[in-house]
Amino acid sequence: MTAPSYPVVRLTPKANARAIRRGFPWVYSNELVLDRRTKGLAPGTVAVLEDAERTPIGLVGMTPASKIAARMLDRDTDAEIGKDWLTARLSKALSLRERLFDAPYYRLVHAEADGFPGVIIDRFGDTCVIQPNAAWAEALLPQLAEALAEVTGITTILKNAGSRGRQLEGLDDENAILLGTAPDAPLPVEMNGATYMADLTGGQKTGLFYDQRPNHAFAARLAEGQDVLDVFSHVGGFALAALAGGAASALSVDGSAPALALAAQGAERMGAADRFDARQGDAFDVLGALGEEGRRFGIVICDPPAFAPAKPALEAGLRAYEKTARLAAPLVDEGGYLVLCSCSHAADLSSFTGACLRGIGRAGRRAQLLYTGGAGPDHPLMPQLAESGYLKALVFRL
């Protein structure tokens, strides 16, 4: 069999070829020789990456105009990046999830950590939602969808194009149905004894966040008999898990009325509608208002969007996390629990923990740190890529 013929791209002498050989999956634009030929490669082109001495390193997916100009696909320069290659990697990802979970509701592909740089695939029973956030995956999307259907046996595949990452890759923002028919109503998903309603076509990202599953479970263990406040609740994340754990009540706060409506539907399906309430509004405004009302809760959870999605936003993001903790801590009963989360790539665990403790201290509270959590095992980490360990969840007893 003849090896595929790929164009060649080359690292500059100053590039960190050792890090790439040891597993770092990205090549930045300032590490590549961006001559006219390389700049002219169509986004999504597969190329052979060589070091400055012209020694092959592996195959990369190219986006020459992006800051991440190349993403490592395979160390074997003779590999053929096509349907069979996709099938093999999907099969490997599926075998792990089937070992971990009893039901087919999980993140099936977690980007670089599963060998699919820039690609997210979440599974909801017989439906999968793909976020192809890199040009190489967009170029191979028909083959990816075909391989996904064959490997999993699913009947519906949706493309979600709403990610910020696609903008950075110069890709469109048009969602699409790649197989089957889009569901005409939110799908119920059971996790930790709770029922969540996932809107796969109009919801945020793929419709549901699976990454907090183990942290929901830990918080639920503390919830029996407690009044619970879940801020930045989305479709009921921690609130519904707490209700499943026997919480006396749960109040969900979010800026999105549709998300809160889905949370209410989930509570109703669980038979917990009488213990569930929702309040729409800006999270900081609502936290302040609850403080003025003298409200107190056994557990307060704050799971905001990424306040520091990139390094330029780090300082402002840490101030926002500190403010969140400062406003939330006074709402916690003496001996109660405060759960603070971050999904910011740029804020590492130490920086995030420091911001939380400053906020708790400014609120005049003292804390024990009981639990430090990350994403579930269907969101594996790529050790060479710190960004893959984005999620942090801290549980304090005040």
**3-class DSSP assignment, residue 99:** helix
Q: Counting runs of H as helices and runs of E as strands, what totals does the chain give?
A: 12, 19
CA distances to 71, 117, 136, 169, 270 from 29, rounded to whole Å, are 11, 16, 16, 13, 50
Q: What values do phi and psi take at 97, rounded to 5?
A: -65, -35
Element (DSSP H or E) covering residue 27: strand 26-28
**3-class DSSP assignment, residue 191:** strand
* Positive or negative torsion for Cα 121, 124, 125, 128: negative
Count of Cβ atoms closer than 10 Å to residue 273 Cβ: 14
Give 255-260 contacts, CB < 8 A, sequence gap 24+.
Answer: 255/280, 255/281, 255/282, 255/283, 256/204, 256/280, 258/199, 258/202, 258/203, 259/203, 259/204, 259/233, 259/234, 259/235, 260/233
Residues, the chain? 398
Residues acting as catalytic residues: 343
Count of Cβ atoms closer than 10 Å to residue 168 Cβ: 16
Beta strand 227-231 with 332-342: parallel, antiparallel or unpaired?
A: unpaired
**3-class DSSP assignment, residue 120:** strand
Element (DSSP H or E) covering residue 216: helix 213-221
124 bridge partner residues: 105, 127
Distance CA 89, CA 56 (A): 22
